[in-house]
Structure 1
């Protein structure tokens, strides 16, 4: 899933109120939060842990208005625990977002 600028960047900009340092901090926090949940998904072997990490991703997506992340979180909720394709897609999303 490709990263698409838009609502997420607008949300971060609105929250930062024109403060470039705060914008960078919020962006870094978003990346760190998504990376943490992706890591938890990669290590989850039971339904409960997988579901919890996917729900946290869904919450992050909702908080930051990120439709691509929301779609990935929904896919994770529908997948089996430990599904490597979900984890790869999340890591790809993070790499693309980090590079933009």
Structure 2
């Protein structure tokens, strides 16, 4: 896996304990939620929708203690709707997470 974050892994271990199946399910749920929030961000055409999608992304990142994704979401909050570099950075994060 290309993605690695000690804080994310720690949060996952704290939630799943010694259950590897639960850890795998939580990792999959995070990935699914990330893809859904990225899709919302890509489809946002106005400031309000973009901001809401970025806030949801930041909330997901915070709930799993993913510092890198929090930073990416905060970059989105500062950017104009549809900013291609922001979208590309989050897409890269999502792709690397799944490897």
Instruction: State the match for 2:80 in structure 1.
Output: 80
Please give the alpha-carbon distance, in whole angstroms, between the structure 2 residues aligned to 1:63 and 1:51. 18
What is the aligned residue count?
98
What RMSD over aligned residues (CA atoms) do the two structures have, in Å? 1.2
Cα offsets for 1:71-98 (capped at 9, x unmatched)? 0000000000011111111110011111
Normalised TM-score (structure 1): 0.93
Instruction: State the match for 1:38 in structure 2.
Output: 38
Cα offsets for 1:36-88 (capped at 9, x unmatched)? 11111111110111000100111111111110000000000000001111111
Please give the alpha-carbon distance, in whole angstroms, between the structure 1 residues aligned to 2:83 and 2:39. 12
Runs of 4+ in 1 over 3 A off after TM superposition: none
Counterparts of residues 15-34 of structure 1 (less than 5 Å): 15-34=15-34
Instruction: State the match for 1:69 in structure 2.
Output: 69
Unmatched 5+ residue regions in structure 1? Answer: none
Please give the alpha-carbon distance, in whole angstroms, between the structure 2 residues aligned to 1:46 and 1:83. 12
Normalised TM-score (structure 2): 0.93
